Amino acid sequence: MSEASSFVLKSWREMPPGGIIPVPKTSLLNKTGTWRALKPVINQAKCIRCLMCWVHCPEPAILRGEDDSVAVDYDYCKGCGICANVCPVHAIEMVPEG
């Protein structure tokens, strides 16, 4: 992340030849969480840690814990609602932002 930001902040005259992006994962600087109208809220009490939401998230914005518990990374979640739909125990609810 720090590597990413240092590259993006450089003067264009120092950009490497060939128009390449010389460091990985600089898209982390682009917080797509602002796209969201509905936000997924996980009911941890209901969660069975099946990882369905984790595997199907297109961002990926579902964080997988060591114990396979899950959390939403709201910095990037676009609020598509796939996680809520694939949850077999309906532990995720989409609620309006704001």
Partner 1 sequence: MKGKLVGMNGDRAVAYAAKQAKVDVISAYPITPQTIIVETLAEYVNNGELDAAFIPVESEHTALSAAVGASLAGARVFTATSSQGLALMYEILWIAAGLRAPIVMAIGNRALSPNINIHCSHDDAYAARDTGWLQFFAENVQEAYDLTLMAFRVAEDERVLLPTIVNLDGFILTHALEGLYVLEDAEVDAFLPKRKPINPIDPKNPKTYGPLDFTDWYMEHKRLQFEVYQKVGGVVREVFDEYEKLTGRHYQPVKTFNVEGADKAIVILGSSAGTARFAARKLAEKGMKLGVVSLTQYRPFPVAELRKVLESFDVVAVLDRSVSFGSPGNQLFMDVSTALYSSKKRPILVNVVYGLGGRDFTPLHVERIYAALEEVQRKGEAPEESLWVGLREG
Partner 2 sequence: MELKTIKTLKEIPREEQFAPGHRLCAGCGIPQVVRLALKAVPDPKVVVNATGCLEVATTIFPYTSWGVPWVHIAFENAAAVASGIEAAFKILSKKYGVEKPKIIVFGGDGGTFDIGFQALSGALERGHDMIYICYDNEAYMNTGIQRSGATPKGASTTTSPAGKVVPGKLERKKNLIEIAIAHGIRYAATMNPAFPVDMYNKIVKAANTPGPTVLHYFTPCPTGWYFDPSRSIEVARLAVQTRIWPLYEYDNGKIRITVPVKEPRPVEDYFKLQGRFRHLLEPENKWLLEEIKRDIEENWQKLMRMAEQSK
Residues that bind partner 1 (CB under 8 A): 12-13, 15-24
The two three-digit tokens of residue 16, written as one number: 């490497």
Q: Using CB under 8 A, which residues numbered 58 to 87 contact partner 2?
A: 58-61, 64, 68, 73, 75-76, 78-82, 84-86
77: exposed, middle or buried (Cβ count in 10 Å: 0-12, 13-18, 19+): buried
C-alpha neighbours within 13 Å on the C-beta side of residue 76: 14
Radius of gyration of the chain (CA): 17
Q: Cis omega (within 30 of 0) on the bond before 60?
A: yes
**Taking CB under 8 A as the rule, does residue 46 contact partner 2?**
no
**Taking CB under 8 A as the rule, does residue 51 contact partner 2?**
yes
CB of 44 to partner 2, least distance (A): 18
16 vs 65, which CB is nearer to partner 1?
16
CB of 69 to partner 2, least distance (A): 12
Q: For residue 26, which amino acid is it? A: T
**Taking CB under 8 A as the rule, does residue 55 contact partner 2?**
yes
